[in-house]
Amino acid sequence: MNKLRFTIPIVWMLVVFLLWGCTSRKPLEKANTTPPQETKPPAAQPEIKQETDVKNTVPPDGEENSQKNNNTIDEKEEHAAALPVQEEKQKEDDPFEFLEGAISAYHDARLAWDKGDFETALAALDEAYYLLLQTRLPEDSPFVQEKDDLRLLIAQRIQEIYVSRLSTAGGNHQTIPLVENKYVLAEIKRFTTGEKKYFLESYRRSGMYRPFILKELKNAGLPEELSWLPMIESWFKTNAYSRARALGLWQFISSTGYRFGLKRDRYVDERMDFIKASKAAVRYLGELHAMFGDWTTALAGYNSGEFRVQRVIKAQRINYLDNFWDLYLMLPRETARFIPRFIATLLVLNDPEKYGVQLPDPLPPLKFESVTVNKPVKLSALAQSLGIKASDLEILNPELRHKSTPDSSYQLRVPEGKGQNTLASLAAVQRYVPPEATYVIHYVRRGETVSGIAGRYRTTVGAIARLNRLRRNYLIRPGQRIKVPARGATRVSSSQPLSLHKQGKNLIYVVKRGDSLYRIANAFNTSVQNIKIRNNLKNDRLSVGQKLVIQSGTPDNAMIYVVRSGDTPYEIAKKHRMNLSAFLSVNGITRRSKIYPGQKVWVNKR
């Protein structure tokens, strides 16, 4: 038995030795023309034991060098075979590969979504999110923000798909959830008590504009309930103006209006046009819904701006919203009330009897036709020639800022059936150009009041209030930008005309008691900034007797004209297509100044 124990290890060693010898000769046998016959490997042996036995086995004489060469070849082959595996493993572990794959899958989802293939879109979004979870980025990697943004986009697209499914199954009516919570009930109470008068008047006015709004919503495939948004935005007033400088039925601020194609110039402000502004609002609402995926959050973005809502969402620990009311308390108060007010409006209008409201009959829709007007005319003058009220034209054309057509081709809306009469009457209507807006911008300082500012600029409190649409309490705040009418200063200057005198090539004004830089600049058709630059003034303070250079050298776009016998300032200005006051100003003379033959004066170049 002891011999058997001793013999078994030796036999195993010989078997291993023979097998090792066969395998070590395989690389040399590959050079032969006859390929070696395949042999079945021996029974599975413990790998560690085999390596140990080989190390303890001494090869026969003459085979040592061959074994060394064979070992070297085997090691190279094993290393070469291991390289692709390592590279593949390294590639699989590369976080940027996962991130690129996630972005690619997201784009595939968008393409499927555009084609209406919801199932493929969801599968691609699932794959994108899976790859995103595999992305392990260092904390200081510049791609961390990109990963977070992609996660948010994926969540928004998934929510958008499910919302669209609900919309298809239940119709647009069910896309805006009419939740009757405490916030909504509080707004219903306001509509049925303190704000009831405004609510009913607004509902009555809505009849004039809603048909146009509903048409745009239907074309865009948006919920019809959105046609009631102007009720809480502007009470359906085309000229409604807010403290945030938003204007019109849909309360567009200037920048958002420009973004959606609403023009604003001296003559028109398309934010007040009920058709153009409605088209812009529908486009904006569609973009917001595509961005946020649900209407409550989209409407919050409409009221306060999408970027503010996105910042609030990003400030949370999750990158999507299951419920708008989780976001409600984190929004600004005015925006937070916007959604409950809109839902309250829909609830009251859907069931007025439940809330004790008797709705009046809405006004009939506006009916009109358009004619092309190629000259500026005042609407009141045109209305008089047509035998209608001026308000009839003003209601149809609310975008006209001065209630007059612009000095260019314009599509004017006139009551239905009045198109031919309008074209026939235009020739007899006098040409009208509204006066240039004359005001100065004033930034309110701490402690200032409207009455104090009015006294400083020699105007009235009412004029400032009307120009800035201030409420009756005339509240202003430090840093606020307000417009101050210049007409008050102009009236003062007309009774006390300012005059210039020449010193060399300069026109000089001597400061008198009560003068201000604004008054001087307005009198001589220049700006406060120009006067300060020419005279190196660091502030607006002036002293009596101080000399100010109003003009130096040759005026811009001017030439010298030699006065002839019989010339008058008016005739010279008219001949050179100049305003009389501009001619007087540029030459440092007044209406009572005398000119004489041979005198050289500045006039506009032709």
One DSSP character per residue, 334-392 reads HHHHHHHHHHHHHHHHH-GGGGT--PPPPPPPP-EEEEEE-S--BHHHHHHHHTS-HHH
- The greatest distance separating any two alpha carbons of the chain, rounded to the nearest whole angstrom, comes to 152
- According to DSSP H, which parts of 442-578 are helical? 450-456, 461-468, 487-495, 517-523, 528-534, 569-575
The token duo for 476 is 């202003």
369 is catalytic: no
**Spatial separation of the C-alpha atoms in residues 586 and 558, rounded to whole Å:** 9
List C-alpha distances in Å: 21 to 49, 52, 243: 17, 15, 95
Q: Residue written as tokens 């006209």?
A: 400
One DSSP character per residue, 196-209 reads HHHHHHHHHHHHHH
Which H helix or E strand runs over 54?
Answer: helix 47-56
The token duo for 177 is 């959830």
From the list 231, 261, 222, 266, the residue with the least C-alpha distance to 249 is 231
379, burial (CB in 10 Å: exposed 0-12, middle 13-18, buried 19+):
buried
Residues 6+ apart with CB under 8 A from 392: 383, 415
**Spatial separation of the C-alpha atoms in residues 12 and 9, rounded to whole Å:** 5
The token duo for 496 is 């006390």
The token duo for 413 is 């809306």
The token duo for 364 is 């009939």
Distance of alpha carbon 137 from the chain centroid: 32
Measured in Å, how far apart are the chain's first and last C-alpha atoms?
132
At position 281, the amino acid (one-letter code) is: A
Q: Three-class SS of residue 595?
A: coil
3-state SS string for 413-431: EEECCCHHHHHHHHHHCCC
The dihedral formed by the CA atoms of 219, 222, 228 and 230, expressed in degrees to the nearest 10:
-80
**Spatial separation of the C-alpha atoms in residues 304 and 533, rounded to whole Å:** 40
Checking phi first, is residue 388 left (phi over 0); if not, alpha (psi -120 to 50) or beta? beta
The token duo for 405 is 């057509």
One DSSP character per residue, 83-148 reads HHHHHHHHHHH-HHHHHHHHHHHHHHHHHHHHTT-HHHHHHHHHHHHHHHHH----TT-TTHHHHH
| Catalytic pick among 233, 399, 416, 436 | 233
From the list 154, 71, 78, the residue with the least C-alpha distance to 109 is 154
Residues with active-site annotation: 233
